[in-house]
Amino acid sequence: MTFHSLSTSEPFAKFDRICREKERRNITGVSSVQWWRNERSGTVPRRISIGIRSVGWRMSELQAWVRGEWSAPKASVAGE
């Protein structure tokens, strides 16, 4: 029987986890209302839809924001 060890460079390292609101607040320390305002101004990672009435945030983006490494994605210009 052969066992394979998984390093961080193998397939599982490519997956990102989705955080819901309560966990996002715990990670960032920012209230729901203030986060929503900051989303509108583009200074924090935006929520993503994970269902009809459910949203979440990518853990990697929240961690990058906390470390001060996150920057808003550049808006694409039509025709480029």
Domain-located, residue 40: yes
Domain-located, residue 22: yes
Domain-located, residue 24: yes
Q: What is the pTM of this model?
A: 0.73
Domain-located, residue 75: no
36, 52 in Cβ contact below 8 A? no
pLDDT digits 0-9 by tens, 11-63: 555 788 999 999 999 999 999 999 999 999 999 999 999 999 999 999 999 99
Q: Residue 26 is part of which domain span? A: 17-67
Identify the CA nearest to 46 among candidates 54, 36, 60: 36
Provide the strand spans (E) within 1-80.
18-19, 48-49, 55-58
Domain-located, residue 73: no
Domain-located, residue 80: no
The tokens describing 50, both together, are 């994970």
What total of structural domains would you count in the chain? 1
Angle (CA) 78 58 79, round 5°: 5
Domain-located, residue 41: yes
